[in-house]
A and B are shown apart, each in its own frame.
Chain A
Amino acid sequence: MPLLRGYRRSDADVLTGVSGSRELACTWPYGRALGGPHGPDAHEADPRTSLLLVAPATGYVLLYDIDWTDRRAELSVGVRPGARRSLDLLLREGSRVALEELDLRRVGGRTVGDGGFVDEVATAGFVREGVLPDAGWKDGPVPVTYWGKVRDDARTAQH
């Protein structure tokens, strides 16, 4: 069976950690919502423009702002703290689903701040496309970095 499948109501415990900031990669204190019940928010989002996938007991992949006309989407991946090594796998699988199974041309996302999971995002084949200084807030102003992966793009071919 594939790593990811569609969200089921029995996956609600996974959703308690869906990041409201929709960062490209994040972890969460398992079982505790980050700033509110973002899971249901994600789940109730317009199904025509978002898709919430779950790797049971590991994490989630949220494809949002799906634009079927321009064939692109934004990606947010979250794993339980103990499953941080799964980030790379979920980033790759989430983008593969977007580019291959949904036949989109581009998947993008953002990281907030310089720390966190920038290395994981780059390793998973995302290309740093731009930085917005002081566009985010984590105990103070931090840069927001935009990343992208484009199908059949030489930029990401080595991954």
Chain B
Amino acid sequence: MRRGTALVHPSTVEREDVLALFDDPAFTFRSTVGHLLPEDALDALLDGDVAVVRDAGATAGLVGVAQMAEDHAGHYRVDVRLRLPYQDERLVEVVGAAVAHARSCHDVVRLTAVVPEHDLQTAAAYLAHGFRDEGVLRDVVACGRGRTGMRYLALVDVEAGED
């Protein structure tokens, strides 16, 4: 990643800085209503293999990797969310680091990413790393005065090898 950007363990970062990320409704890390959730629920979102994105010494976002389901061998979900504002290339860079992080920690066969339908910026970052757009489940969650769908993207290592 760019000099000055790093993925670090949450224990090395001020907890309040991490919680403050969720104050912004646009920070939809693993939840579209993170700004409304109590601290215990945020702890649950931060459970598992989560890393903090540090940029120039500041807390800039979160990256998470989690097994999709107990009986899904090799199937992991990756989540990336940066604090606004950020540049597209920075997001692409962090998604790449998240994918590398997932592969370094797990025997990955398939990585799934789920992003709000309207979040084309994040979807593009995943597509830039070879993820395939698998479609949108429409009107899944409330969003503002309406509802929004969730876009599913996936990177399957067998496919990557065939490419």
Contacts and interface: CB of A to CB of B under 8 A. Distances in A.
Interface of A: 1-2, 4-10, 43, 47, 51-53, 97, 100-103
A5 B36 contact: yes
B39 A1 contact: no
Given A2-B25, A5-B35, A101 B144 contact: yes
Nearest to B42: A6
Residue picked from A10, A43, A103, most chain B C-beta under 10 Å: A103
Interface residues of B, number: 21
Contacts of B35: 2, 5-6
Contacts, number: 51
A6 B142 CA distance: 17
B159 interface: no
B33 A52 contact: no
Nearest to A44: B40
Interface string B7-41: 00000000010010011110000000111111111
Contacts of B24: 1
Q: What secondary structure prevails in chain A residues at the interface with B?
A: mixed
A47 B38 CA distance: 8
A97 B142 CA distance: 10
B3 interface: no
B38 A103 contact: no
B43 to A, nearest CB: 10
Contact of A100 (B34, B40, B42, B142): B142
A101 B142 contact: yes
A85 to B, nearest CB: 24
A103 B22 contact: no
